[in-house]
Amino acid sequence: MLDYEIFNAGDVVLQSGLTYRNARLAYKTYGTLDAAKSNIILYPTSYGAQHYDLEWAIAPGKALDPTRYFIVIVNKFGNGLSSSPSNTPPPFDRARWPQFTMTDNVRVQQRLLHDVFGIERIKLVYGFSMGAQQAFHWGALFPDRVERIAAICGSAKTSPHNFVFLEGVKSALTADPAWQDGWFATSPMRGFQAMGRVYAGWGLSQAFYREEEWRKLGFSSLEDFLVGSWEANFRRRDANDLLAMLWTWQHADISANELYHGDLAKALGAISADALVMPCETDLYFTVEDNRREVALMPHAELRPIPSIWGHRAGNPAQNPTDAKFLDEAVGELLAR
Amino acid sequence: MLDYEIFNAGDVVLQSGLTYRNARLAYKTYGTLDAAKSNIILYPTSYGAQHYDLEWAIAPGKALDPTRYFIVIVNKFGNGLSSSPSNTPPPFDRARWPQFTMTDNVRVQQRLLHDVFGIERIKLVYGFSMGAQQAFHWGALFPDRVERIAAICGSAKTSPHNFVFLEGVKSALTADPAWQDGWFATSPMRGFQAMGRVYAGWGLSQAFYREEEWRKLGFSSLEDFLVGSWEANFRRRDANDLLAMLWTWQHADISANELYHGDLAKALGAISADALVMPCETDLYFTVEDNRREVALMPHAELRPIPSIWGHRAGNPAQNPTDAKFLDEAVGELLAR
């Protein structure tokens, strides 16, 4: 029996012009929706993640407190639970996946909240990494529906360097002989290994490795960490699903739609939500500087970098109590405003 | 006709215990050795580079002035000109390359200078990246023979994060179906592409891409830069040669020898040369912080970061006049001491 729900979104006309039929959005809720429908926290997913990977942050006494809030983790398209290359019948299966933008994702999420729960306003959109990018999209696409956003280690638009980093990840996976233009002959084991090793250098900081912080995660050597954490992380997933999510990430841009026509400054200026933007000081691809420039164009945003050597992973610190406390206190403060 | 010379080093007993027979070291000289043999600048090569890629920095009026100095660019083992997987007969050819450490390289370089030119002291060892690592090795292995070192964007020991970055590069190349454990069936075109794209994110800074500095290099788009600069750069080389140099880089450590037995502090402390250590402020793998820690343990070293958004490439700025001027002035000052 599934531990989550499915929203049948029907036929979704994508930004590309293609229609994805019988779209399914997987989600899980925590806590109880109050009578006024005023206690909603939306928690979209990060790259490669499913709600299982994120729900550690939800607990009584924490900022994401299910005794106070109705929290919805929504799995993004491509993550293997919502409609994805790996679970779609022809003609949009596997290599033929039609690509969902982040705007496509967020618009279906809005329908889920409206159609299933009658929700018109969200107290907080909380997201890490690609989840943070979805939070920015919510703020720009639905300014009247979002009271607060907490964007952790993510940006409103994917920066050019971030795009290049992802080109490397993608190229490593697709260099595998099994790739065959996406019609994988077998599971690309060598590609998963390469992808994991490429990602490992980016996902944490130089100082993380210098200080051997991986020991705190229970690994016995650097090689043990590379295999046990990074290779393992990607081998859990379908290769085309990973490529689908990567495409969505590379093309994330809150202004790439008919509301803003590519005018990023205008889109940022339209985010009326009270926004807490929290890059990590040592994140190598979602940098503080990119967020600083975005925050400067947002009317109600605060930049509050996470002081950590855990790089990008500081934003989803299931196993790092210090960073988890920093985030939890900041988000608690945001919710109390 | 070759534009460079070959030093036949004979049989070289490597640190690994294997003997590489008939080792050939390719080098090129610029300028004239003075009678006192007191005007030598040694310029070892960086990753993937041959002397052709480095000699732009040598010119009358520059710090590396061939009208004043006798400059020797020595091609490191594995670079395709000196003994390398691609030009070695069985049994040490291609996949069976026996691996040269940086210490192995520097010891043969010392024999070249001594046996061919009768050189006992070097005025300056100048190096970029892996070349800088060789400069550190010279300083630690031959303290009495080296008066100055200029170490640009390189470290005395490859840091753990730097090692991980290289794991990604290596994994991308070897994910190619042509790899076959090093007995490449064909040239690994997909692997070169992947390697180039992985490297592209590391070789320059986030700000370089944000500001589209690649336009200054004559590229018409980001994709044009990725293909025209990065893919092209590796496709010039033999895949096993690239893997051989990568291994040398990953294992660079001035203390990994019988003089220092892994005691890095002792090895750094033994570098009596007047040392100018110049990381780039935005280098993503040879970081300022790693150099700062090394300089603190060296008796006569100065840390002088290059203020540039060109990341690692700031250290070999053939096409960046600002960074070139900064380096040239610094090295000129070092030579004048």
Give the pLDDT score at B217.
Answer: 96
Q: Which residues of B are catalytic?
A: 129, 283, 312
Q: Report A:236-295 residues touching B (Cβ under 8 A).
A: 284-285, 287, 289-290
Handedness of CA B186, B190, B193, B195 (dihedral sign): negative
pLDDT band with cut points at 50, 70 and 90 for residue A194 = very high
Q: Cβ separation of B226 and A165 shorter than 8 Å?
A: no
A22-36 pLDDT tens trace: 999 999 999 999 999
Q: Strand locations in B124-228, DSSP E?
A: 124-128, 148-152
A114-155 pLDDT tens trace: 999 999 999 999 999 999 999 999 999 999 999 999 999 999
* Helix (H/G/I), strand (E/B), else coil: B150: strand
Please work out, in degrees rounded to the nearest 5, the angle formed at the alpha carbon of residue B306 by the alpha carbons of B271 and B214. 130
Give the pLDDT score at A45.
Answer: 98
- Nearest-by-CA chain A residue for B193: A171
In the beta sheet, which residues pair with residue B157? B253
A145-190 pLDDT tens trace: 999 999 999 999 999 999 999 999 999 999 998 999 999 989 999 9
B96-109 pLDDT tens trace: 999 999 999 999 99
Please choose, from the candidates B69, B76, B9, B13, the residue with its C-alpha nearest in 3D space to the C-alpha of residue B45: B76
Please check the confidence at residue B1 and state whether its pLDDT lies above 80.
no
Give the pLDDT score at A153.
Answer: 98
Q: What percent of chain B has pLDDT over 90?
A: 99
> What's the half-sphere exposure (Cβ side, CA atoms, 13 Å) at A2?
10
A2-15 pLDDT tens trace: 899 999 999 999 99
Chain A residues close to B177, C-beta within 8 Å: 176-177
Span B300-316, mean pLDDT? Answer: 98
Give the pLDDT score at A2.
Answer: 84
Chain A residues close to B169, C-beta within 8 Å: 198
ipTM above 0.90, yes or no: yes
d(CA A266, CA B243): 48
Distance of CA B235 to the CA centre of its chain: 19
The string over A203-226, giving b where at least 16 C-beta atoms fall within 10 Å of a residue's C-beta and e elsewhere, is bbbbbbbbeebbeeeebeebeebb
Q: Cβ separation of B206 and A161 shorter than 8 Å?
A: yes
Span A285-294, mean pLDDT? Answer: 98
Helix, strand, coil shares, percent, chain A, to 5 = 45, 15, 40
pTM of the model: 0.96
Q: Strand locations in chain B, DSSP E?
A: 5-13, 19-30, 40-44, 70-74, 124-128, 148-152, 274-278, 301-303
Please choose, from the candidates A113, B258, B310, the residue with its C-alpha nearest in 3D space to the C-alpha of residue B318: B310
Chain A residues close to B200, C-beta within 8 Å: 164, 167-168
Alpha helices in chain A (DSSP H): 51-54, 102-117, 130-141, 160-174, 189-203, 206-210, 222-225, 232-235, 239-250, 264-269, 288-295, 321-336
Does A159 contact B at CB distance below 8 Å? yes
Question: CA of A236 to nearest chain B CA: how many angstroms apart?
Answer: 19
β-pairing, B5-13 with B40-44?
unpaired
* Helix (H/G/I), strand (E/B), else coil: B25: strand
* Helix (H/G/I), strand (E/B), else coil: A317: coil
Give the pLDDT score at A135.
Answer: 98
> What's the half-sphere exposure (Cβ side, CA atoms, 13 Å) at A130?
31
Please check the confidence at residue A320 and state whether its pLDDT lies above 80.
yes
- Best residue of B155, B161, B211 to probe chain A, by most A CBs closer than 10 Å: B161
Chain B residues close to A198, C-beta within 8 Å: 168-169, 171-172, 198
User: What mean pLDDT value characterizes chain B?
Assistant: 97
B52-67 pLDDT tens trace: 999 999 999 999 999 9
A227-246 pLDDT tens trace: 999 999 999 999 999 999 99
Number of continuous H segments (helices) and E segments (strands) in chain A: 12, 8
Please check the confidence at residue B2 and state whether its pLDDT lies above 90.
no
